[in-house]
Structure 1
Amino acid sequence: VSDIPRAILDRVLARTNWLSCNTTEAAEIAGRGNVEAIAARLLASHCPNADGVVIRAGAKGCFVRLADGGAKAIPGFHVAAVDTNGAGDTHIGAFVSALSRGVPPFAAAGYANAAAALSVTRHGG
């Protein structure tokens, strides 16, 4: 995220339906603070047309903030991690897959946390 010119990043974020990023990326975009404040700033100032944002925190799970103001921390799963490469990609893929099947966002995030946890128990992305 820090390597993307800000003008380009701002244009992309303005068109985003859902933003999924890790805690470092979220802070890079919206500034430091607690996850609730960062998520609120992401929606209000950076992704005004989005349905929500997901901020991933590795084994701790993720935080979901909806455009309507609903927010929830979704706990992760403790596993013996072998290789974390690709966990974020697995998470967003599983999240979008669940949403496309009509799963509500908070439940979709739980599904995504489980998929990401499974993905880190093996070598390779």
Structure 2
Amino acid sequence: MASNETRSRVTVVGSLNMDLVVRAPRLPHPGETLAGRTFAQVAGGKGGNQAVAAARLGARVSMLGCIGADANGAQLRAGLEAEGIDCAALETGTQVSGVALITVDDASQNAIVIVAGSNGEVTPDTIARHEAALSDADVVVCQLETPPQAVRAALAAARRLGKTVILNPAPATGALPADWLPLVDYLIPNELEATALSGLPVDSPEDAARAAAALRAAGARNVLVTLGARGVCAMLEGADATFYDAPKVAAVDTTAAGDTFIGGFAAQLAQGVSVDAAIRFAQRAAALSVTRAGAQPSIPTRAEVDAFV
């Protein structure tokens, strides 16, 4: 692997949460109380997860976001720094750090409730104050767990600076503003997010191709719909849909699998590899992550992915 000084750079703009994770036999029904089996408190948040994934998978990474002036915030910052992530653009806000309440069932599916906390304090002014972090990057990654005005500002700044822009539209509840997608080089939703963005049902790989085509027609240069164990549907600029089968593994916990894919894909793009190779690498990384419990603890290293066949 290249040294930390020579690796290409990824800047992640997004959320950091402390994940409170309970494992239970199944997800509870409304109004129901279940007895959980285990509890763990681990660093998470889509932005933090993707930053850690990109760092472990070969990139030099900067994190742009906001944490609280509390114990969780201190732990989140320390965890990023321990991964070698540049936190110069990680501000401390006035609210508590973000928290995610996660239940994982015996089928390795999860249900998540997020309290944004200090993530909600990321603004266009925050982006402007830390434009140097975007300028220094080869690839800029955004999600939707920070306020939309800040996400739009980050996308626009990254486009103006000529960076490769990845948007993971999670959590998506509907179509994005019309002026967002033309700012995006790689739009990477899962099935539910692709449905929300396109208005088209995504129940099969063929459905994913139709949704991806609609999103590309709306302005995104390239669209990758992640389908979990069914793989990835890629609709790349100037090409028809290509389907990538997922590696076969025994899943333990799917938390952060999507974030691992995003981080691995971003790290590979920043290093100049082909899109095809970046997708396959990111799939292997995500497959390894689901064989382990937790969010950031489940994210593999570059050496582990290279050794995984």
TM-score category, normalised to shorter length: 0.7 to 0.9
- Residue 9 of structure 2: aligned partner: none
SS of alignment partner, residue 21 of structure 1? coil
Q: Compute the displacement of 1:114 (Å).
A: 0.4
- 2:184 counterpart letter in structure 1: T
Counterpart code for 2:212:
A
Measured in 1, the distance between the counterparts of 2:216 and 2:244 equals: 18
The unaligned stretches of length 5 or more in structure 2 are 1-171, 202-206, 296-309
Aligned to 1:78: 248
* Pairing 1:43-122 to 2, within 5 Å after superposition: 43-45=216-218, 48=219, 50-122=220-292
Checking the alignment, whether the CA contact within 8 Å between 1:30 and 1:42 is kept in structure 2 is yes
> How big is the shift at 1:90?
0.4
Alpha-carbon distance in 2 for matches of 1:65, 1:108: 14
Deviations 1:62-96 (A, max 9, x none): 01111212431011011111110000000011111
Greater relative contact order (CA < 8 Å, ≥ 6 in sequence): 1
Which residue is 2:183 aligned to? 15
Structure 2 residue 203 is the aligned partner of structure 1 residue 30: no
2: CA distance, partners of 1:55 / 1:117: 16
Q: Deviations over 1:30-82 (max 9, x none)?
A: 1225121111101111xx1x431110000111011112124310110111111
Displacement over 2 Å in runs of 4+ = 11-14
Residue in structure 2 matching 1:40, options 213, 221, 226 = 213
- Specify the code of the residue in structure 2 equivalent to 1:17: D
Alpha carbons 1:21, 1:54 under 8 Å: kept = yes
Contact 1:64 1:106 in 2 (8 A): no
Q: Greater CA deviation, 99-108 or 77-86?
A: 99-108
- The CA distance in 1 between the partners of 2:277 and 2:226, in whole Å, is 15
Q: Report SS of the residue matched to 1:103.
A: coil
What's the % identity of the aligned pairs?
39
Length-normalised TM-score, structure 1 = 0.86
Pairwise CA RMSD of aligned residues? 1.6
Per-residue deviation, 1:12: 3.1
Q: Is the 8 A contact 1:60 1:76 kept in 2?
A: yes
Aligned residues: 118
Maintained 8 Å contact 2:182/2:221: no
The CA distance in 2 between the partners of 1:112 and 1:70, in whole Å, is 21
Higher strand proportion: 2
